Amino acid sequence: MSEYDVVGVEESGGPMPPLKWEEGLFEQIVRGHQFFGEWDARYPVKGQTASDAPSGSVSLFADFFGDGHFRLTATHFFSALLTFYHFHVSQLSPLGMVRIRHFELCFRSQGLEPTVERFRAFNHLQVNLGFFLLTTRGSKRLLINPTKSYHDWKGKFFFIRREVITVTMEFCEFVPIPKKNLKIPKGVA
């Protein structure tokens, strides 16, 4: 596993809640984000949970696409983070997605290439109730007033073909590694 820091590990989140959102909202995401038919985006069957992704599919949470500004296909930067941190997209919380995408959009708007090294200068991983999120490292904040929480997000999910996210993903074991102080690269802050 890569050298990274996971703090605040709180693994037990209990069982995943079952489906809890309207199919019409799912269809709005599919249409609004112009999913291709071959991606096989599917609304789950009543009683299924995000843990029940069919073989060859992954679960994505609806809140990734709102405040998280997630788009398919995933960017190279997002794929690099999944590879570096060794976690699966379905293990990421919407708050984590918001931080990742906000970082990427801020850097791109300034003509800077977002990199894992630069990202790590501002953020570190945290595990809360079995999901990864990212928190600010030190006093360097990119988000002035970040969203504090999402309600019922675990029940708002859908399935999509695994190949849509073109990086090898693995389910990460939650092993805390001591926190390291990283300096912000010159010319970044």
Range with the lowest mean pLDDT among 1-10, 13-22, 34-43, 97-106? 1-10
Distances, alpha carbon 116 to alpha carbons 21, 110, 129, 172, in Å: 34, 17, 24, 18
Query: Rounded to two decimals, what is the model's pTM?
Result: 0.79
C-beta atoms surrounding 22 within 10 Å: 11
Looking at residue 139, its pLDDT comes to 64
Residue 97 Cα to chain centre, angstroms? 4
Instruction: Identify the band that residue 156 occupies on the pLDDT scale cut at 50, 70 and 90.
Output: very high
Range with the lowest mean pLDDT among 75-79, 108-112, 129-133? 129-133
First to last CA, the chain: 29
* Inter-residue contact 43 to 26 (CB < 8 Å): yes
Instruction: Identify the band that residue 43 occupies on the pLDDT scale cut at 50, 70 and 90.
Output: very high
For the chain, which residues make up each domain, given as ranges?
6-164
* Inter-residue contact 88 to 58 (CB < 8 Å): yes
Dihedral of the alpha carbons of 24, 25, 29, 30, in degrees to the nearest 10:
-20
Mean pLDDT to the nearest integer, 171-183: 57
Give per-residue pLDDT as tens, 75-99.
999 999 988 988 889 999 998 898 8
Residue 50 Cα to chain centre, angstroms? 14
List the structure tokens of 42.
Answer: 């599917």
